[in-house]
Amino acid sequence: DAGITQSPRHKVTETGTPVTLRCHQTENHRYMYWYRQDPGHGLRLIHYSYGVKDTDKGEVSDGYSVSRSKTEDFLLTLESATSSQTSVYFCAAALTGQGTTEAFFGQGTRLTVV
């Protein structure tokens, strides 16, 4: 499972507060991804990283930022949480780019913005 752990697993936060979710991997995968899962939408890509300090936007990046200062950690920050960001967030990691190797997923983080 590429040793991917997400923290926290559950979080309730208030509208307008900043929130940071952490993804940690132990297998030295170069590529990492943040997705959100919503009913009727499947998994939508928020941001991804193709190396340390190298990140780019996905399909639904507005209101989110990411950072990757080390290979093993990929942080997702909600700059000012809104109720529309209530979702389940999944992190994934892959060894190679261009989707040529499988992605391994973390357990997910359930975020509720009240």
Residue ranges binding other proteins (CB under 8 A): 31, 33, 35, 40-45, 48, 50, 56, 58-59, 90, 92, 94, 97-108
How near is the Cβ of 17 to other proteins at its closest, in Å? 27
Tokens of 111: 């975020």
Amino acid at 36: R
How near is the Cβ of 106 to other proteins at its closest, in Å? 7
Nearer to other proteins by Cβ, of 106 and 111: the residue is 106
Nearer to other proteins by Cβ, of 81 and 92: the residue is 92
Q: How many CB atoms lie within 10 A of CB 14?
A: 9
Cβ atoms of 93 and 5 within 8 Å: the answer is no
How near is the Cβ of 15 to other proteins at its closest, in Å? 27
Cβ atoms of 94 and 1 within 8 Å: the answer is no
Nearer to other proteins by Cβ, of 81 and 103: the residue is 103
How near is the Cβ of 69 to other proteins at its closest, in Å? 19
Residue corresponding to tokens 């499947």: 42
SS percent in the chain: helix, strand, coil, step 5 = 5, 55, 40
Nearer to other proteins by Cβ, of 10 and 15: the residue is 10
